[in-house]
A and B are shown apart, each in its own frame.
Chain A
Amino acid sequence: MNQNGHKPSVMIVDDEEMVITSLKAFLQLETDFEINGFTDPESAARFAENHRVDVAVSDYLMPKMNGIQLLSRLKELQPEASRVLLTGHADKQSAIQAINQVSLFQYLEKPWDNAQLLLVIQSGAERATLFRDLREKVDELDSAHSSLKNVQKRLIRAFL
């Protein structure tokens, strides 16, 4: 559980039900994270429109929308989320494209290693939390700064 009392939220997107079932079972055993699995990338994107996502693990080759398209959509919606591509389609071209276009947190290949995946998801969740906290602090600083400015303005007006 992080500072704000949220359980980290992990999204798993793969058009193969079996991958989702396996990853869910594993992550539920190892973590207390909230896990949401989607076989359809479009419903995953819709979910991300109004639910917090800390880590998104996506397959590459999927119907309608590939993993890079989905992760770049997620990047627009929730820039703090850690984006992970988990692909069996191991060609360098898609890897490079993914890293450049969606600033991936990690690129993993199938068949995956559970220990490595767990580490990636845990550090991804931590990173997302830190980013969100940082943004909150920056926002707080901003509003403190602007209220200070107001006070300053009023002071100047009062004395001049």
Chain B
Amino acid sequence: MALQAIYSFLTFPKKTQPEDPLRPGASLPIADDKLGRMLKGLFESAHSDCVVPIMFVSDGEAQENATRGELLAFVHCHSLATATPLALRLQRATSGQSGMGLLFIGIGQDGEQTRVVISRFPADEGVVADTTHAQLSVQFVEQVFLKSAFSYKAATYVATGRPDQLWAGHIVDRQINAPSKVVADYWISDFLLSEFETTPAAGTKRLAVALRDAISSSTSVEIKREIAAAAQLAGNLPRRRALTIAGFCDEFHFSPETKQAVLSKVRPPRLANERFRFDADEFTRHIAYKQIELSNGALLTAPADRFDEVFMETHRRDEHTFTTTGAIVDERLKRSK
């Protein structure tokens, strides 16, 4: 994998002043020094660092996306001039909350294909300690850019040269689950004009169906209990929370057996790690009711998110007693459970 060129820009938060110009960028030499090695490392690790699939969105008939158009122009003939529109777009998408950033746009060969890596390091403040001349010198600096900062972001695209290229890419965004939707969305939605490849409804349905299939095929009471408890609490997840099915299992502290039971129901298996935004309404559509069967033949059913309110439970050893009070509004005879 060979990094061929890298362009850098200082971008300011100009979301509210989009007409403000971009400061001139620079084409950086790819030298064998510390900066050059860091940039090469960034480029070479992008395929493993950026694991979240995203897709450019297009509204309407023309199959157009402005960011994709700029990316295609950059890939077609990379230069400081063709990198500049992408930097300007980032500046115009950046709010004061995200602040100043240092943008790198790298391009190079990855096998027979061309890879582009776009990364942004946020500006921070820091203290530099210098021990030259056997004396400690300490200075406060304002424009420090930290790769390991919490809000480091990158996106990578592989250009195949085919007409359908560059609709999809991969990102890493360490702020993806930040409480503020504005911060979490500006990199994907506002700058890249993209969304996760899996829609919120599709991803949430996939999760709900995996949970439902796992609970119905398992014979372990413990596995069923863990999944039912998680399903009950899932409605409280924040709106548009980005997660994966494997991440959901970890978040609700599933035992290894329960996690395996859920993941084994994901088809195809690689999608257990596909990221999507949680959609509580969609989840409820697929896991609306919780049902418990007792050894005496009783079947208790109630809305999953209110089961514990509807039935009061006490237990002594293995014997459980459920009590509930309400007016009878319906009665049914059913052939099966």
Say whether A and B bind each other: no
